[in-house]
Amino acid sequence: MGTNIALDFAAHGHTVRLTDSISQQLDNSRELAHANATQLEKHGLLREPAAGVVRRITYDTHLVSTVADSDLIIEAVPEDLALKRRAFAKVEGLCKAEAIFASNTSSFMPSMLCVGLKHPERLLVTHYWNPAHLLPLVEVVPHEQTTPAVVESVCRLLKACGKKPIVLKRELAGFIGNRLAFALQREAMELTARGVATPEDIDAVVRNSFGRRIPISGIFGTADLGGLDVYAAICDSIFPDLSSQTEAPAALADLVKRGRLGVKTGAGWRSYTAAEIATAREAVSEELIRLAQKDREPAPTEPA
């Protein structure tokens, strides 16, 4: 995530520094940024050659030199609350007074992240979606102490980079996107646990039905098109039977315990060959690139 966030800023003319305590991570990041920039150039999604873009990204294992004069510092460490708090506490003592702190957390509320900071008013969440250089949404989540000027500054920067920032009116765990996505995940896992269908069949249902509509009309728009009287009746019928589990289901916990973590280990809900993994990743990447190209097409003009 950190690499692709950096690439997105660099692609829009900004100088970016990436830091990690492990030099190998930075080497991997350099390779990924080059590969993704080359792909963007190939599809006409860069304003200049990829080489010029990646030159704006520098890599350093020394935190002091990385953050000393930075205007915006985005944290993208693993999803561990204590680790994130330590990172922000350390950065606050090294950066300039007006620097803005942003977290790319997927779930933690900003009020949880700013505990112990001298300047919590300069912190907020900027939740990018993976891959960050291709997906336009950034959920911007302030907390009660975040100053409006910080929110406005970050949103202005994101818009200048072609992003679609959505500012939450109040903070809550998981924000908007992940709450919606994981409600769907919870019900899908419940259906497999009940023996209703296999994971492959459930994925096929999504791909061939509402998964095609929602990108066009959204959730509330889809309901309006279907008729709210119909939706109200369906809600009354199936809401009582929907999953209300409050922790990860046993089947998921078992997969994690067995080391079946998804494509990164070659197996998750199903097993994958190397060729299948490459094909799946390429399919997602190509579709997201196609949509990014479509976003850049000029709007049709009305006939004279």
pLDDT tens figures, 148-205 = 999 999 999 999 999 999 999 999 999 999 999 999 999 999 999 999 999 999 999 9
- pLDDT given at position 304: 47
pTM over 0.75: yes
255 occurs within a structural domain: no
Q: Which of 290, 298, 299 is nearest to 134 (CA)?
A: 290
How far apart CA 137 and CA 144 sit, in angstroms, is 23
Q: In 251-283, which positions are buried (b, 16+ CB within 10 angstroms) versus exposed (e)?
A: ebeebeeeebeeeeeeebbeebeeeeeeeeeee
pLDDT confidence of residue 300 = 56
**243 occurs within a structural domain:** no
Q: What is the pLDDT of residue 294?
A: 87
Q: Is residue 76 part of a domain?
A: yes
**CATH number of the domain where residue 81 is located:** 3.40.50.720
60: which strand partners? Answer: 19
Nearest to 203 by CA among 219, 191, 217: 191
Region of 58 please: left (phi>0), alpha (psi -120 to 50) or beta.
Answer: beta
8-state DSSP, 166: E
In-domain check, residue 122: yes
- In this prediction, the residues of the chain whose per-residue pLDDT falls under 70 are 298-304
Residues 234, 62: Cα–Cα separation, whole Å: 56
**Domain annotation covers residue 209:** no
Alpha carbon distance, N-terminus to C-terminus of the chain? 46
Q: Domain range holding 26?
A: 2-167
Q: Is residue 137 part of a domain?
A: yes
Contacts of 199 (CB under 8 A, 6+ apart): 188, 192, 269, 270
In a domain, 178, yes or no: no
Q: Does residue 127 lie in a domain region?
A: yes
Please report, as a single letter, which amino acid is at residue 218.
G
Mind giving me the DSSP string for 246-263?
A: -S--HHHHHHHHTT--BG
Look at the chain and report how many structural domains it folds into: 1
